[in-house]
Structure 1
Amino acid sequence: MIRNSARLATATALALLFSPIHYVFAQDQAPATSTPEAAAPAAPVAAPVFPAPDPADFTATAPTKDVVNAFMQANLGFDVNSMWQVQAIQKTQIPGISKVIVFVGDKTGKQQPYRFAFFTMPDEKHIIVGEKIVPFGDRPFAENRAMLQQRANGPYRGSAAKDLEIVEFADFQCPHCKAAQANMDKLVADFPKARIVFQNYPLPSIHPQSSIAAAYGVCVAKEAGSTAFFQFAAAVFDGQDGLATPDGATLTLNSAVTKAGLDPAKIAACAATPETKATVESSVQLSKDLDISSVPTLVINGREVPANAPYETLKQLIQYQAKMDGVAQ
């Protein structure tokens, strides 16, 4: 379920779909060339050839070309067919803010190359792309990774260590979150050394029963730990249609609590307390501090990824991020 704005995903920006900057990259995409009805068969495609950068377009001292390349590598390096070229790093009329232009393409030549432009902030840790503020630098996900290691305290599966931490932000009433659970179960099996955390991100403006479902989940985890929580969560997602009404939600949540081996009355009483509501709100605030704008979202060592992406792509991204961070998988 999208919140605030739609995701922009196009064929020419496929790799960027799995990065925080995918929300805005496609706006700079060049239009596709139309093909006449009687056109001859297409010639074999080849990698694009970018024009040589003009040294006159490198007027800013920061960021350096090396930092821009490291940023692009962090975002696109998981795809061996991705290619790019830093075309300009220019001063602007505002001290400390530079304009950067990068040409991005595909080595197979099957995807249309495009121009990616952004402005670096004076802190050299963030950039502005369209309407988004995006982490930047040679290790752009490091700050978010540290934030999650400190504050992602939801129930988890897998390792107690946080070297490879995959945090799922989800809403129990979101159909896309339900669909993403198949991916989550596969990740648990394929990455036993990872810590895979569930964080509540209810969106009550569009899912009215999501907050109470989140509160129940907090209390199940508090009462009986992570194993009971994931039994509860599986039952809630399986019975998600029952969350459509308040009465249906009560029946669905109580049934899920029972399946987790707990007392529904005790969990309901816990869910109504200010302490529990504060715990849910703390998880929501973490989502906002990470600038997560949709559910379901995974954050892999600080790197934001749609949780319902194709599974093999998720595996590829996790393996790449773990390698970048020098941690065991």
Structure 2
Amino acid sequence: MRTKTFRLWALAVILASGACAADKIAPKIDKQKLEAYMRYAEGYAAQVSISIDDPTASSFKGYFRLLVHLSNGPHKVDRVYYVTADGQQFVNGNIWPLNENPFADTLEHMPTDGPSFGPETAKITMVIFSDFECPYCREFAKTMRDNIPQKYPDAIRVIFKDFPIASMHKWAEAAAEASHCVQNQKPEAFWTFHDWIFEHQQEVNEGNLREKILGFVKDQNLDAAKASSCMDTHATAEEINRSLEAGRQLQIQQTPTIFLNGRTIGGAVPWDTLNAVIQLELNRPKDIPGPTAAKCCEVTIPTVVSK
């Protein structure tokens, strides 16, 4: 979650006036009025649809998490806000309790399933949301695969999550589904597929994707009939949908987006930059609690003024 200028909006006219008896009781909000206020305050354009979830508990005492779903045609983005327990103030920004990890709220919603390599006991967990058709994802994948396994074999666990942007990339979603068809037959073959699809990305198109994937399957001595059936029936589509939803909850707007122990890194950063962040995490001050758990393909939500 990107660091933003901290904003505290007093919403006495927006949120229900009754104070909560305890932090565990979520405040009642008038969603229609809140949407109107938010549309004005954030400057969202008229064509943007806004849907507001009910407040839920957060890791920050006195604040409840409020997930807001924004959509503009096929483009979807989730944003996280916070509302005070008395229902009178609305917060847009990061809250950092000094006795907690600064990325605690992000980590609370971070998925830990999916194809991975590296030990589960590693000090750093890197979660990568990627799109097989995104050229910058290809660039980052090469950077990651050329360096992490060799230089940090015991210190970093890498988890891959799918975030195909179907509105921009015609075959990304089908490739994501196929990668899980391959994984279901032979888990370790996922990373072979990952490297292969990125290496051949510029040769692949919507028309030849299936043929090329089945060629890969045969080369890996996997069952082509099973893979074909898996792709035809979209047997792994739900896995992709869950990954997309997890990414939206983490407010992902571009691919690749990398989370390194909860810290957001956007875009295909070069190795020197990534390594500097890795070193920052490996040398985290002992009094800061540890975790418990180039732009491409950016989804933008239009506002009347640029931010």
AA partner of residue 158 (structure 1):
G
Equivalent position of 1:218 in the other structure: 180
Q: 1:286 to 1:316 in 2, by over 3 A?
A: same
Deviation at 1:236, TM superposition (A): 0.7
- Give 1:286's match in structure 2, choosing from 235, 240, 246: 246
**Aligned-CA RMSD value:** 3.2
Task: Give TM-score, length-normalised by structure 1.
Answer: 0.57
Equivalent position of 1:123 in the other structure: 63
* Residues 1:189 and 2:171 are matched in the alignment: no
**For 2:254 and 2:184, how far apart are their aligned partners in 1?**
26
**For 1:286 and 1:210, how far apart are their aligned partners in 2?**
17
**For 1:180 and 1:206, how far apart are their aligned partners in 2?**
19
Higher-Rg member (1/2): 1
Task: Give TM-score, length-normalised by structure 2.
Answer: 0.61
Moved more, 190-199 or 264-273: 264-273
Deviation at 1:252, TM superposition (A): 2.4
Would you say how many aligned residue pairs link Structure 1 and Structure 2? 215
Higher helix share: 1
Equivalent pair of 2:177/2:234 in contact (CA under 8 Å): no
Equivalent position of 1:20 in the other structure: 2
Deviation at 1:267, TM superposition (A): 1.4
**TM-superposition CA deviations, 1:92-136 (whole Å, max 9, x none):** 6546xxxxxxxxxxxxxxxxxxxxxxxx997287769xxx95442
Deviation at 1:166, TM superposition (A): 0.3
Matches within 5 A, 1:138-149: 138=97, 139-148=101-110
Equivalent pair of 1:172/1:240 in contact (CA under 8 Å): yes
AA partner of residue 123 (structure 1):
Y
Structure 1: give runs of 5+ residues left out of the alignment: 1-18, 26-67, 69-88, 96-119
**For 2:131 and 2:9, how far apart are their aligned partners in 1?**
42
Deviation at 1:234, TM superposition (A): 0.8
Deviation at 1:273, TM superposition (A): 3.4
**For 2:281 and 2:64, how far apart are their aligned partners in 1?**
22
Q: 1:134 to 1:235 in 2, by over 3 A?
A: farther
Q: 1:133 to 1:238 in 2, by over 3 A?
A: farther
**TM-superposition CA deviations, 1:223-267 (whole Å, max 9, x none):** 111x21110111111111233232x11122223333443233321
AA partner of residue 141 (structure 1):
F
Matches within 5 A, 1:26-105: 93-94=10-11
**For 2:222 and 2:209, how far apart are their aligned partners in 1?**
17
**TM-superposition CA deviations, 1:17-37 (whole Å, max 9, x none):** xx723xx67xxxxxxxxxxxx
Equivalent position of 1:265 in the other structure: 225
**For 2:267 and 2:180, how far apart are their aligned partners in 1?**
21
AA partner of residue 228 (structure 1):
A
Equivalent position of 1:207 in the other structure: 169
Taking every aligned residue pair, what percent have the same amino acid on both sides? 24
SS across alignment from 1:214: helix
Deviation at 1:317, TM superposition (A): 1.2
Deviation at 1:321, TM superposition (A): 2.8
Equivalent position of 1:242 in the other structure: 203
**For 2:237 and 2:164, how far apart are their aligned partners in 1?**
12
Structure 2: give runs of 5+ residues left out of the alignment: 13-59, 66-79, 83-90, 292-307
Q: 1:263 to 1:93 in 2, by over 3 A?
A: closer
Q: 1:135 to 1:274 in 2, by over 3 A?
A: farther
Q: 1:311 to 1:195 in 2, by over 3 A?
A: same
